[in-house]
Amino acid sequence: MSRPAARRLPGLRFEMQAPPVADALPRMDVAAFVGFAASGPLHVPVAVEDVADFEAVFGAAPLLAWDAERGEPVHAQLESAVRAFFRNGGRRCWVVRVAGPGAKTNTFPVPGLLRRTEGGGVTAALARARSEGSWSDGATVAASIQREPVELLDWSSVDGAGAELTVTAPGGVSVGDLLRVSFEGTGCSLLVPVESVEPVAQETALTWSGPVSRRVTARVRSSQALWQQTDVAPVDDTPFVSWLRGEGDEVSLDVTKVTDPGPDARPRVLTLTLDLEAKDAPPAGAVLRIVDSATGENWLLVESVELGQAEGGAVLVSGGVSRLLTSSPVEVASAHAWCERLTLGLWTRRGEEQPAQLERLGFCPAHPRHWAALPTDVERARHEDQETLPSRLPEERLPQDWRQGVPTERFPLAGPGAGGEAFSIPLGLTDPPTAYVGCTPPAGDSLERDGLAAFGADLFLDPDVKSLGVESLLAQADFLRYQSSQPRSLRGIHAVMDRLDATLVAVPDAVHRPWVLAGRPDVKPALPAQPLPEPAWGTFLDCALRPPPAPEPFVAEPEEPSSGQAFTLDWGTVPGTDVVYVLEEATLRDFSDAAELYRGPLSARTLYGRTAGTRYYRVRAERGGVTGPWAEGLDVTVAPQARWHLVPVSQYDVGPLLAVQRALMRMGCARGDLLAVLSLPEHYREADAMGHAATLQSPLGAEEDGVPPLGFAEETALSYGALYHPWTFVSEEGRPGVPRRLAPDGTACGVLARRALERGAWVAPANEQWNGVVALNPAMSAERWLDLQEAQVNVVRQEPRAFLTLSADTLATDPDLRPIHVRRLLSLLRRAALRLGSTYVFEPNDASFRRRVQRGFEELLGRLFVRGAFAGKTREGAFQVVTGDALNTPAQAEQGRFFVDLKVAPSQPLTFLNVRLVQSGDRGTVTEAR
């Protein structure tokens, strides 16, 4: 039957899309960014056409480490670089998320759902996050069930041989549907995954409005039918109970008591007393497996959890129990039966925010929207690739409404895959859902699970091609992708090689300083307080002057909060009335700088906004003006937001950055049309920047992380890299507050893309405003601008009208290839020649063919000449197309080869203009001098 489309609110909806770009010349404005993101597919390019696209897939910038020298967190640069690209005129880019092999995926138990294998085994259902990383730690999952009545005409079931139903439904039933036949008053139902459908009859019923309703009667067969019985209980007093918290993480629970209200109770809710700590208790919505010696496997859906209510602080878990049977229960023989078609709803949310949901998911692998087939980010990226999409059959493509109900971001869950599954079994599900369950993260720190615990060049490079030279890089890359015994996609920056529309590439996260895991600082405890002064012994003392005791215990929750996290100080109450508590805070352990934080009757105080560092707290009680002793001092160490700390600037190793930038220029040269936009670490001053450029240009440098320097035969590769410095302070749209410090490569790519779109890639991308930039860090000294320009570092400058660059140089040692616009023009000609040349394949190689080729390329170059791409006043002085006999000899023609030489004179920009002030008598004149 046909499936209903994703439901939406009535009315009009407008979707803004970038205007199409004229295809007269190949596009030169598409960029590629490689870096760190919270979510998204690893090492797979994803097309992004606005910031919302990026956020839907890759999320917010992840926290990487803590900068102890600045006292602030350090986030990944990729998100801000993409924002800067679109802010400065970019329209389309490819984004590649990179991480190390240690990246792990969270798994989520699906509340109230079981999976039955083709072999008959049953286990709790697990979903997984759509991509690796700790980004989904805060997400929770719930499930619901939607029921559609189906008219049941007849049914039969044979033990061990499945079931056969005759049903009538609007539109009929389809293979992959799950039907449930319920029997009144028995607590039993028959689950029938539809494997075959044989139409019996159909009728059309006229309606007063809407489409004509078509009712189809069909005979349905299934060999995997299963009986489900609810309101049951195990026989053993202490059965074996286990809980599948995550993939490969099944824990046994110690049951000390089973409380059963008896078979006459409806509903029959069992209570298990578990001997475990409250933090290890299964939450509401979890599915527990109960193995009983007499009845076998039973399944309990946890409905409520009471922590510490039983003797000894044990945990009480309550819920209904179900049992799965392969044979017909006796009770159903004479009971009234009815039938329903079931579909699944999955819900996710973070905290108390509005949940997102996917509805009308199937329970069976044959269903076109089987929940276990929800795609991962890698699968979605492969299916959405415009280059491979036309080659796949329609049934192999993803349904159009997988994103149903998720307007701002992708649905965070993916299915575990349907391999070996017969169908999924609903267990006590309702509509709407009643409980949300979170994941149990794999072992390891969040940065370890993100695959970013160790910073190095290998995060960005493919290990099998990183050390290769320009000549062999493409051949080895093609071998790995297409010809090896186990073909695979390339990783890191090399994943961009087959995105042929990209002509700019940047790696904004390569400039980070490495980070290391910092241990907890060694904190000295607070010094003991001075005792109260001795009373005047030997005289009668008023009993009311007796000092109150010290409030104990005095604790903090949590004991080690992170920077910005609230924590609560809690102390014991003192007996009596009119007691006032005094709380003080100090930064010194002897409380010599103590300040009073609170005075009042409460016995707890929550503190907010504390930055990283150690603080000391003490509390005392006062009653009737009499002061009691201080409780034992408490030290609270507020940890930085990240346990990982950046290495100091003095220990910075530039090796990984050199390796990545060398590999970028090699890849750009091997492609022939890819310009690498390079940046430097934030702390680099003028001498550091010039030294870095010289190191990249030197063929005698040391090998870094397995990447050798560009050799003498690879000097051309230097023209495929352009170096920008310093960093910029950027005010990002929709993000009020302190401007973000950002490496310049994202903004530079946006300016290059805007110049290519508006005027052409052959125009120098200098003297163009950098949008969003409000300051520089560090600002380069004006006295060193010329030195930096001679070193081929493009300096971002603050001019009266805007922040911009007044140079546009590559790192090429050949003066003719030094300007960026020359390299970009040659790349454009290469792309245009490849596109035009492919139209002449298999043409007869004769004189008319040569004239046709010459006219085609002359027309191409003529259009560029008219638009100002070439120097010269005439076409003959600007370019030449050579196809003569001297170039194409008879021997070459016999081999099926044909050569075309394109000779061009790139236009040169006006880089400076002398303005001469001439004093003549009492008047002054201004003239231009070149």
Q: Rounded distance, CA 198 to CA 367, Å?
A: 17
Q: What is the DSSP string of 638-687?
A: EB-S-SEEEPPGGG---HHHHHHHHHHHHHHHHHSS-EEEEE--TT--HH
Q: Rounded distance, CA 458 to CA 655, Å?
A: 11
Q: Quote the DSSP letter at residue 395.
A: G
Nearest of 94, 92, 60 to residue 77 by alpha carbon: 60
Contact 451, 147 (CB under 8 A): no
Instruction: Please give the pLDDT value at position 902.
Output: 87
Q: Rounded distance, CA 33 to CA 43, Å?
A: 11
Q: Where do the DSSP E strands lie in 188-295? A: 188-193, 196-205, 213-222, 226-230, 240-246, 249-253, 255-259, 269-274, 287-292
Burial class (CB in 10 A: 0-12, 13-18, 19+), 742: buried
- Return the SS3 of 434: coil
Nearest of 442, 375, 372 to residue 114 by alpha carbon: 372
Q: Rounded distance, CA 871 to CA 904, Å?
A: 8
Contact 217, 153 (CB under 8 A): yes
Establish whether the linkage from the previous residue to 432 is cis, with ω within 30° of 0. yes
**Mean pLDDT of successive 10-residue stretches along the chain, which has 930 residues:** 50 64 78 96 92 90 90 92 95 95 93 92 93 92 94 86 89 92 91 93 63 80 92 88 87 90 87 86 92 88 80 80 88 88 93 85 92 89 58 42 50 87 92 89 89 94 94 93 91 93 96 87 78 63 72 87 83 88 91 91 88 88 86 86 86 95 96 95 95 94 93 93 95 80 95 94 92 92 93 94 93 93 92 84 81 87 88 87 85 83 84 62 50
Q: Rounded distance, CA 189 to CA 727, Å?
A: 67
Contact 666, 714 (CB under 8 A): yes
Q: Rounded distance, CA 664 to CA 672, Å?
A: 12
> Per the structure block, which two tokens stand in for 868?
């100002």
Name the phi and psi angles at 87, rounded to 5.
-65, -30
- The DSSP bridge partners found for residue 162 are 158
Contact 109, 246 (CB under 8 A): yes
Distance of CA 304 to the CA centre of its chain: 34
pTM for the full predicted model: 0.85
Establish whether the linkage from the previous residue to 778 is cis, with ω within 30° of 0. yes
Instruction: Please give the pLDDT value at position 525.
Output: 83
Cβ-based neighbours of 430, under 8 Å, separated by 6 or more: 144, 145
Angle between helices 745-758 and 820-837 (to 10 degrees): 60
Angle between helices 655-671 and 686-697 (to 10 degrees): 50
Nearest of 596, 570, 601 to residue 583 by alpha carbon: 596
CB atoms within 10 A of CB 748: 32
Q: Quote the DSSP letter at residue 39.
A: S
Contact 31, 90 (CB under 8 A): yes
Instruction: Please give the pLDDT value at position 185.
Output: 87
CB atoms within 10 A of CB 572: 15
Cβ-based neighbours of 124, under 8 Å, separated by 6 or more: 109, 110, 113, 114, 115, 244, 287, 289
3-state helix, strand, coil in the chain (%, to 5): 20, 35, 45
Q: Rounded distance, CA 269 to CA 272, Å?
A: 10
Q: What is the DSSP string of 19-33?
A: PPPP-SS-----EEE
Nearest of 771, 613, 881 to residue 89 by alpha carbon: 771
Q: Rounded distance, CA 778 to CA 680, Å?
A: 12
Contact 424, 344 (CB under 8 A): yes
Q: Quote the DSSP letter at residue 54.
A: H
Distance of CA 905 to the CA centre of its chain: 46
Q: Rounded distance, CA 64 to CA 678, Å?
A: 21
> Per the structure block, which two tokens stand in for 881?
């197309």
Q: Rounded distance, CA 430 to CA 422, Å?
A: 22
Nearest of 371, 356, 442, 420 to residue 107 by alpha carbon: 442
Establish whether the linkage from the previous residue to 640 is cis, with ω within 30° of 0. no
HSE, side-chain direction, 13 A CA sphere, residue 909: 18
Q: Rounded distance, CA 205 to CA 591, Å?
A: 86
> Per the structure block, which two tokens stand in for 632?
């034992």
Instruction: Please give the pLDDT value at position 91.
Output: 93
Q: Rounded distance, CA 763 to CA 167, Å?
A: 71
Contact 658, 706 (CB under 8 A): no
